[in-house]
């Protein structure tokens, strides 16, 4: 693996402060498998899943929830990006979402046994993984709380804050269409548009197409309390 790719991988949450030589050894282990996927090809779904951590080395992918004849976009994965961490160390087989390549993509799969071996050698790996799970639990609890909010503005505020947290900034690129977001938030499209306008009138956000700038995250949080 070239130096530039290694440096980009080292920025991922799981590998922060992990010894450089140990990370290089893990990524070059024969158990780590690189695979290519063509645009439109399924990487993971309920029947096509491996207990491995996936790293998007190149290209883009999309995380989808599929059910009752509907497909909802949950997230988009740009390189470098991790996926599959929440699916490790579980007894049940299968995967709860679908991941599909949006463009030609190269994925490095790190199987559970390989990750476990190196967690034993450097506890920082295990510590980073536990921190991820804790953040994931908090995220899901906030999402449940957001869905129980009665007001459209509160639901939208929580949704935007969650997306901003995942994308790491105050400029949010909506990962799905208004129709899909309406379905996720259990709102009518008219209600969603009114909520967007209300948040703009409050001075909490500005919107240009699918790009939303969070002008006042504290203001958005106040709606969710």
Average pLDDT, stretch 194-210?
86
- Does residue 67 have a pLDDT over 70? no
Query: How many residues are listed for the chain in this entry?
Result: 225
Cβ density class 73-104: b for 16+ within 10 Å, e for less:
bbbbbebbebbbbebbeeeeeebebbbbbeee
pLDDT tens-digit profile of 138-153?
Answer: 766 655 555 555 588 8
pLDDT tens-digit profile of 1-55?
Answer: 778 888 889 889 899 999 999 999 999 999 999 999 999 999 998 878 888 999 9
Q: Tell me which architecture the domain covering 3-132 has in CATH.
A: Sandwich (2.60)
- Does residue 71 have a pLDDT over 90? no
Q: Where are the domains of the chain?
A: 3-132, 149-223
- Does residue 74 have a pLDDT over 90? no
Residue with the bigger pLDDT between 24 and 74: it is 24
Rounded to 10 degrees, the C-alpha dihedral 209/136/13/99 comes to: -60
| CATH ID of 149-223, from 1.10.10.10, 3.40.50.150, 1.10.287.70, 3.30.70.20 | 1.10.10.10
Alpha carbon distances (Å) from 47 to 102, 130, 160, 217? 20, 27, 31, 39
């Amino acid at each position: 693996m070239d130096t530039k790719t290694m440096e980009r991988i080292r920025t991922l949450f799981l590998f922060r402060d992990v010894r450089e030589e140990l990370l290089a050894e893990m990524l070059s282990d024969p158990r780590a498998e690189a695979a290519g996927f063509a645009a439109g090809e399924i990487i993971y779904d309920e029947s096509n899943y491996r207990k491995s951590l996936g790293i998007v080395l190149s290209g883009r992918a999309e995380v989808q929830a599929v059910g009752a004849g509907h497909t909802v976009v949950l997230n988009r994965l740009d390189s470098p990006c991790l996926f599959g961490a929440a699916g490790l160390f579980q007894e049940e087989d299968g995967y709860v979402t679908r991941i599909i390549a949006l463009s030609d993509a190269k994925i490095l799969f790190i199987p559970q046994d390989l990750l476990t071996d190196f967690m034993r050698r450097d506890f920082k790996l295990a510590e980073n993984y536990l921190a991820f799970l804790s953040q994931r639990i908090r995220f899901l609890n906030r999402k449940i709380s957001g869905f129980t909010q009665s007001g459209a503005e509160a639901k939208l505020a929580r949704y935007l804050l969650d997306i901003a947290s995942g994308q790491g900034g105050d400029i949010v690129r909506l990962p799905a269409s208004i129709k899909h977001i309406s379905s996720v938030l259990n709102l009518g499209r008219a209600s969603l548009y009114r909520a967007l306008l209300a948040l703009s009138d409050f001075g909490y956000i500005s919107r240009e197409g699918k790009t939303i700038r969070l002008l006042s995250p504290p203001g958005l949080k106040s709606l969710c309390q």
